[in-house]
Amino acid sequence: MSLQITLTQFIINQQRLLDDATGDFTLLLNDIAVACKRISHAVNRGAITGKLGSANSENVQGETQKQLDIITNDIMVGSLEWTGHLAGMVSEEIDDIIAIPAQYPKGKYLALFDPLDGSSNIDVNLTVGTIFSILKGQEGHDAKLDDFLQQGSKQVCAGFVLYGPSTMMILTTGHGVNGFTLDQDIGEFVLTHENMTVPEDTSEFAINMSNQQFWEQPVQRYIDECMQGAKGVREKPFNMRWVASMVADAYRILTRGGIFLYPLDRRNPDKPGKLRLMYEANPIGFIIEQAGGACSTGRERMLDVCPCALHQRVPVILGSKNEVDRIDAYHRQYDLG
Ligand code: AHM
Ligand code: MG
């Protein structure tokens, strides 16, 4: 009888390939998995616990928080702050760095997360998720702003967990992308999707069309060409999908290819996009690149962006490589006039 590989087993196997591994990272990932199982349970209980709906508060982004945004943030912080593996945390829901309480030891890693991505979908019972990114900080010290402001290419690990028909964790430590499904019977994530890859070509795009009037010309041009179908310059029909949960759109791209855009928006110069670099664009971008896709702002590889603030927003274009390259080329042509 062959037993499915659990997430912990998978990470320990990877750790054994490294000479200098201490096991710290394996334990940290285990704690993240426990947090996500707790979140999965809280999300799954939905209306039974009376926790759907707004919390009547705003986060640092000025967005109205759902009750579950706050609950899932508390689960992440409570599950990770005591472990001794972290020097600090950053969450979409908290303005400042989340320090490790003085009574707990501090480790060398930094955790950045969006505890409940796509939370506008929670009340309509659609897929939501948790996104996380792990960076290295300075061991034993309280993490400072500069410790967090690292390019996405420096990520040690990135992942997201989908709370959909199945609960799944998608993970990269820089050696490809693997998917694990939560087996509710044994309470463990087990390896179900090995070496996930994004096809280079696609005929499916994901964008919130209601923002069209605010896009720049290169994105207008790209979507217009897709919409022209078989008789247009692309000479093939395109399909459109938009879940309004980046985790769900990213997972679809990991399974059958596609392109996702939340592009630069001219409405507000202080917000050059909706999505946040450090705990949304970078971790998803790292995963998509590791699966053979690409992730860009339209003008720069996402993982090369030098961050200047914890909650910085960026334009996001990710997915099948040839389409991302095409959109980058449209931006270059536009910028050259
Ligand atoms: P959130 O982290 O507050 O949930 O916002 C991020 C989400 C993404 O998951 C999704 O792609 C996007 O916002 C949807 O935005 P819109 O409602 O403008 O379509
Ligand atoms: Mg989010």
Q: Looking at ligand 1, which atom is closest to the CA of residue 249?
A: 11
pLDDT tens string 149-203: 999 999 999 999 999 999 999 999 999 999 999 999 999 999 999 999 999 999 9
pLDDT attached to residue 58? 80
Nearest bound ligand to CA 273?
A: 1
Residue-wise pLDDT for 307-316, tens only, equals 999 999 999 9
User: What CATH code is assigned to 204-335?
Assistant: 3.40.190.80
Query: Does ligand 1 come within 6 angstroms of the Cβ of 246?
Result: yes
**What are the sequence ranges of the domains in the chain?**
7-193, 204-335
* Cβ burial, residue 245 (10 Å; 0-12/13-18/19+): buried
Region label for 227, one of left (φ > 0), alpha (ψ between -120 and 50) or beta (otherwise): alpha
Instruction: State the distance from the centre of ligand 1 to the C-alpha of 158, rounded, in angstroms.
Output: 19
| Ligand 1 atom with minimal separation from the 121 CA | 4
Whether 207 contacts 263, CB under 8 Å:
yes
C-alpha dihedral (89, 94, 96, 100), degrees to nearest 10: -40
Tens-place pLDDT, residues 240-249: 999 999 999 9
Closest residue (by CA) to atom 12 of ligand 1?
244
Supply the pLDDT for residue 17: 78
- Phi/psi zone of residue 118: left (φ > 0), alpha (ψ -120 to 50 degrees), beta? left
CA of 250 to the centre of ligand 2 (A): 12
Whether 139 and 108 have beta carbons less than 8 Å apart is answered as yes
Question: Measuring from atom 11 of ligand 1, which residue has the nearest CA?
Answer: 246
The closest ligand to the CA of 260 turns out to be 1
Has domain 7-193 been given CATH number 3.30.540.10? yes
178-183 and 188-193 strand pairing: antiparallel
